């Protein structure tokens, strides 16, 4: 049976990533975050985890964690919430949602190259809304939720 990854609250009230493996389901804490852990996504190969944290100054970070326990910050979003990473099937690129003040309710989808840290807007229209991205199995399409008036989109 494959291991199970989940978030658990630590003694400081912060969520950490934990891995539980069969047969005895002993847990191994993977992160030691002092920031608020928002969400995470295991890579298609299962060798690393992308996760998002929120910092007290209003910024956020996207990090990569190897299963050996080494975490590195790949991208920092100054004065914005960047979260909900979703891996492309190639295992190198991710899409994430970026929300900026004053209207945090208007998410936009951005690409992130996990090796170079380069980040670019997915849609050319800088006013386009996008969230809840999911890739087709071959990675040639991405589905996402747009504005309520537009609904589900394929790109």
Interval 135-146: pLDDT, tens = 999 999 999 999
Report pLDDT for 89.
Answer: 97
Report pLDDT for 126.
Answer: 78
Report pLDDT for 115.
Answer: 94
The pair of three-digit structure tokens given for residue 90, joined into one six-digit string: 């190639």
Report pLDDT for 79.
Answer: 93
pLDDT lower than 70: segments of the chain:
none
pTM: 0.92
Report pLDDT for 49.
Answer: 97
Report pLDDT for 128.
Answer: 87
Report pLDDT for 63.
Answer: 98
Report pLDDT for 148.
Answer: 78
Report pLDDT for 67.
Answer: 80
CA 47 from centre of chain:
15
Report pLDDT for 130.
Answer: 93
- Cα distance between residue 25 and residue 41, in whole Å: 21
Contact yes or no for 123/130 (Cβ under 8 A) = yes
Q: Beta strands 81-87 and 71-77: pairing type?
A: unpaired
């Amino acid at each position: 049976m494959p291991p199970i990854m989940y978030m658990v609250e630590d003694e400081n009230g912060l969520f950490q990533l934990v891995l539980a493996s069969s047969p005895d389901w002993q847990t191994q804490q993977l992160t030691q975050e002092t920031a608020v852990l928002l969400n995470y996504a295991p890579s298609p190969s299962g060798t690393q985890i992308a996760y998002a944290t929120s910092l007290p100054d209003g910024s956020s970070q996207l990090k990569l964690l190897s299963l050996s326990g080494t975490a590195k910050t790949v991208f920092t979003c100054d004065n914005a919430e960047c979260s909900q990473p979703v891996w492309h099937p190639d295992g190198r690129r991710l899409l994430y949602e970026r929300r900026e003040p004053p209207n945090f309710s208007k998410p936009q989808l951005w690409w992130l190259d996990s090796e170079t840290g380069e980040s670019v807007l997915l849609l050319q229209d800088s006013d386009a809304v996008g969230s809840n991205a999911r890739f087709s199995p071959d990675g040639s399409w991405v589905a996402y939720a747009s504005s309520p008036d537009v609904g589900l989109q394929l790109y």
